[in-house]
């Protein structure tokens, strides 16, 4: 049935006679299932090829850096949970260690081992979300469920220790919130024993898959010089052949004592970054095993009564503990004046905290160098010249979390 | 040495390094401190591009980890500061450069030509602290909406902002 065009109203828009010669600007809008958050990409397309890609961020900006200046040091820990919400323990660690460096506190060994244990568990959990969402964006739906099933086990472990799954706030300035619950070691060991089987399942599903390979190989290439120039760090940098892992080069919280390999691949494309993160999950598994075997009974808070909250029993029976508890909670503790930049190897790259103190109980300036913020700035370099369908694969390979980008 | 005490092997030892830098040009360094295991060099703002360029090409500080601005206080003079955190990927050393700026002239030259990553960091510093980077290829707001008034991280900007907080 043909429609006669004579009765249709004339268009108020200019009719383009040569539609194939013009470039189209589309907005891969803030609401999109594959942009991993509220990210807006302004794409100028020539057919299917991207001529220019401009990220537009700020949709999740909540002014966290300003909030830190109005909260006491220990109150800021809960704010850090909400930055990179897939790696909250990593954010906690960076903030807490920066404050500890200003205070020049000595952290007990058991607290350091447990910090490493949880950081690596958190790294595995973050990479599992990356893997599940990256695969499902490309079209492979099964790994998503498998990854989240494994992540559920890790979240249960974190919840057992701290009470929160995605907002644990487990670390404190001076050590940990409290010691591990009884039976934790066995549950953790159970998870560790099952995890290699799960990793094997992911490799069967994706690493040998021709469709996955052809969608990720030679896509989103960035050279190692460009990667360093754009500030890429973490797995995105190691996927371009640069051997830079802060756990190796500027070790913190005892990482120099653990035996693990730094995973580096030379491809510089989405496939190389995929391989780096898959191997990183194995290495984190190794580290957690080592940490678990080294646990010995001991204190989990630093020995400074002005900074670490006393035990509840102590507080209820001794007057000086009660006074210290009261002062720490209501007035906070004074941190000596100074400034410090503390970088850690978060799951997405170098998470750096620049903390400036003026001698009071509240920081003067806290700046979080979010790795996703910097990694996303390299997106135009990777995406220009690629097809529209590859943008999704490239965003997935950068592993961005908007909470960290926008803060 | 306790495990978390500051380890100075990874920060550029300041005094010999400053001597090397001032050998290039006496005016490049107007102050240097080393505290908590970290080295800070205060650079006058006219020379920041030269210093950064020398550090990147001559001393292998090829990664600009962070560029952040801070408001030192409404009463302070100079009011603003910009911190450049440099990292050397080969040697693992870190260094901080600091530029101090006054309130009535918060301009400093951009270092985007030295490290491309400075682009977004400088946009964020402009957006939140109000420091203007001359010769920046694309200096516009990045986190706050483009029609926002004021620079939110300044000390005289209220925590809740200026718009009346209304429940309807």
- Domain region containing B67: 10-107
Over residues B93-148, the pLDDT tens digits come to 888 999 999 888 889 999 999 999 999 999 999 999 999 998 888 888 889 888 88
CA–CA gap between residue A258 and residue A289 (Å, rounded): 10
**Residue A67: per-residue pLDDT:** 92
Of B2, B65, B120, the CB nearest to A352: B65
pTM above 0.80, yes or no: yes
Domain spans of chain A?
A: 5-56, 64-406
Q: How far apart are CA A25 and CA A353, in angstroms?
A: 37
**Of residues B38, B39, B41, the one with CA closest to residue B22:** B41
Is residue A324 a contact partner of residue A306, using CB atoms and an 8 Å limit? yes
B143 closest CB neighbour out of A244, A343, A406: A406
- Name chain A contacts of B117, Cβ cutoff 8 Å: 229-231, 374, 377
Question: Which residues in chain B have their CB less than 8 angstroms from residue A107's CB?
Answer: 3-4
Residues in B touching A57 (Cβ below 8 Å): 142-143
Among candidate residues B105, B142, B115, B145, the one with its CA nearest the CA of residue B126: B142
Evaluate whether A252 touches A260 at the Cβ level (below 8 Å).
Answer: no
Domain total for chain B? 1
Task: Tell me whether residue B133 is in a domain.
Answer: no
**Tens of pLDDT along A16-35?**
556 666 788 888 888 888 77
CA distance B87 to B94: 5
Q: In the predicted model, is pLDDT for residue B25 greater than 80?
A: no
Burial label for A406, CB within 10 Å (0-12, 13-18, 19+), is buried
Show which of residues 344-363 on chain A sit within 8 Å of chain B, judged by CB atoms: 350, 352, 354, 356
What is the C-alpha to C-alpha distance for residues B54 and A19, in angstroms, rounded to an integer? 50
**Contact status of B95 with chain A (Cβ, < 8 Å):** no
A&B contacts, CB < 8 Å: 116
Rg for chain B (alpha carbons), in Å? 18
Query: Which of A54, A63, A104, A223 is the best substitution to test chain B (most B C-beta atoms within 10 A)?
Result: A63
Longest dimension (CA), chain B: 64
Question: Which residue among A109, A253, A338 places its CB closest to the CB of B36?
Answer: A338
Q: Show which of residues 76-135 on chain A sit within 8 Å of chain B, judged by CB atoms.
A: 97, 100-102, 104-107, 109, 112
ipTM of predicted complex:
0.86
Asked whether residue B71 is domain-assigned, the answer is yes
Q: Single out the residue of A391, A396, A402 nearest to residue A274, CA to CA.
A: A396
Percentage above 90 pLDDT, chain A: 53
Identify the CATH number of the domain in which residue B60 sits: 3.30.460.80
Min distance B40 CA to chain A CA atoms (Å): 10
- Point out the residue among B3, B62, B143 whose CB comes nearest to the CB of A58: B143
Other beta carbons less than 10 A from residue B154's beta carbon: 18
**Residue B108: phi, psi to the nearest 5?**
-150, 150
Q: Is B42 near chain A, with CB under 8 Å?
A: no
Mean pLDDT of each 10-residue bin along chain A, 407 residues long: 51 59 83 84 88 90 91 91 91 93 91 93 93 90 92 93 91 90 92 92 88 90 90 91 90 90 90 92 92 90 89 89 92 91 92 92 92 92 89 90 89
CATH placement of domain A64-406: 1.10.645.10
- Four-point Cα dihedral B44, B45, B50, B55, nearest 10: 70
Which of left, alpha, beta for A318 (phi over 0: left; psi -120 to 50: alpha)?
beta
**Cross-chain Cβ contact B38/A340 below 8 Å:** yes
Beta strands in A226-330 (DSSP E): none
Strands in A163-307 per DSSP E = 171-172, 175-176
Segments of B51-102 assigned E as strands: 63-71, 80-87, 94-101
Q: What are the distances in angstroms from CA A245 to CA A43, A290, B55?
A: 33, 19, 22
> Smallest Cα–Cα separation from A275: which of A259, A285, A263, A291?
A263
Is any Cβ of chain A less than 8 angstroms from the Cβ of B2? yes
**Residue B7 burial (10 A CB sphere; 0-12, 13-18, 19+):** middle
**B35 lies within 8 A of chain A by CB:** yes
Mutate to test the interface with A, among B143, B147, B151 (most CBs of A within 10 A): B143
Give B153's contacts in chain A (Cβ within 8 Å): 65-66
In A, which residues are within 8 Å of B5 by CB distance? Answer: 104, 106
Per DSSP, the three-state class of A246 is: helix
* Contact call for residues A71 and A362 (beta carbons, < 8 A): yes
Q: How far apart are CA B137 and CA B135, in angstroms?
A: 6
């Amino acid at each position: 049935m043909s429609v006669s065009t004579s009765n249709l109203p004339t268009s108020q828009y200019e009719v383009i006679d040569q539609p194939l010669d013009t470039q189209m600007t589309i907005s891969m809008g803030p609401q999109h299932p594959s942009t991993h958050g509220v990210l807006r990409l302004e794409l100028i397309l020539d057919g299917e090829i991207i001529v220019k890609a401009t990220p537009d961020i700020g949709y999740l900006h909540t002014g966290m850096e300003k909030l830190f200046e109005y909260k006491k040091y220990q109150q800021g820990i809960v704010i850090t949970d909400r930055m990179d919400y897939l790696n909250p323990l990593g954010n906690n660690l960076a903030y807490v260690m920066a404050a500890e460096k200003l205070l020049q506190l000595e952290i007990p060994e058991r607290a350091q081992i447990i910090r490493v244990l949880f950081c690596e568990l958190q790294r595995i959990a973050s990479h599992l979300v990356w893997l599940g969402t990256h695969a499902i964006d490309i079209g492979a739906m099964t790994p998503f469920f498998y990854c989240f099933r494994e992540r559920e086990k890790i979240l249960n472990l974190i919840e057992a220790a701290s009470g929160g799954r995605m907002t644990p706030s487990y670390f404190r300035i001076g050590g940990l919130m409290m010691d591990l619950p009884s039976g934790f070691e066995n549950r953790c060991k159970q998870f560790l024993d099952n995890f290699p089987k799960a990793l094997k399942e992911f490799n069967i599903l994706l690493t040998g898959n021709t469709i996955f390979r052809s969608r990720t190989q030679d896509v989103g290439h960035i050279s190692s010089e460009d990667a360093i120039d754009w500030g890429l760090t973490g797995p995105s940098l190691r996927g371009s052949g640069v051997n830079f892992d802060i756990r190796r080069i500027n070790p913190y919280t005892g990482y120099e004592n653990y035996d693990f390999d730094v995973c580096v691949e030379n491809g510089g494309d989405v496939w190389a970054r995929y391989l780096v993160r898959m191997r990183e999950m194995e290495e984190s598994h190794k580290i957690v095993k080592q940490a678990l075997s080294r646990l010995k009974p001991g204190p989990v808070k630093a020995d400074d009564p002005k900074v670490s909250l006393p035990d509840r029993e102590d507080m209820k029976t001794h007057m000086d503990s009660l006074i210290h508890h009261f002062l720490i909670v209501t007035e906070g503790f004074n941190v000596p004046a100074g400034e410090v930049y503390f970088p850690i190897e978060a799951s997405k790259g170098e998470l750096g905290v620049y903390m400036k103190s003026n001698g009071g109980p509240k920081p003067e300036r806290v700046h979080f160098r979010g790795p996703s913020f910097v990694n996303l700035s390299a997106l135009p370099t990777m995406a220009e010249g690629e097809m529209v369908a590859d943008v999704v694969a490239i965003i997935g390979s950068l592993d961005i979390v908007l909470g960290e980008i926008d803060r | 040495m306790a495990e978390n005490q500051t380890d100075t092997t990874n920060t550029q030892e300041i005094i010999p390094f400053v001597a090397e830098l001032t050998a290039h040009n006496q005016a490049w360094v107007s102050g240097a401190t080393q505290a908590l295991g970290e080295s800070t060099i205060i650079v006058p703002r006219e020379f920041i591009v030269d210093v950064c360029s020398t550090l990147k090409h001559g001393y292998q500080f090829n990664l600009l980890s962070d560029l952040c601005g801070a408001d030192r206080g409404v009463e302070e003079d100079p009011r603003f500061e910009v911190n450049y955190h440099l990292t050397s990927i080969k040697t693992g050393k870190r260094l901080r450069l600091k530029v101090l700026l006054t309130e009535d002239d918060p301009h400093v030259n951009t270092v985007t030509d030295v490290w491309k990553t400075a682009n977004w960091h400088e946009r964020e510093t402009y957006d939140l602290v109000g420091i203007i980077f001359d010769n920046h290829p694309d200096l516009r707001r990045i986190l706050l909406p483009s029609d926002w008034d004021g620079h939110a991280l300044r000390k005289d900007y209220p925590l809740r902002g200026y718009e009346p907080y209304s429940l309807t």
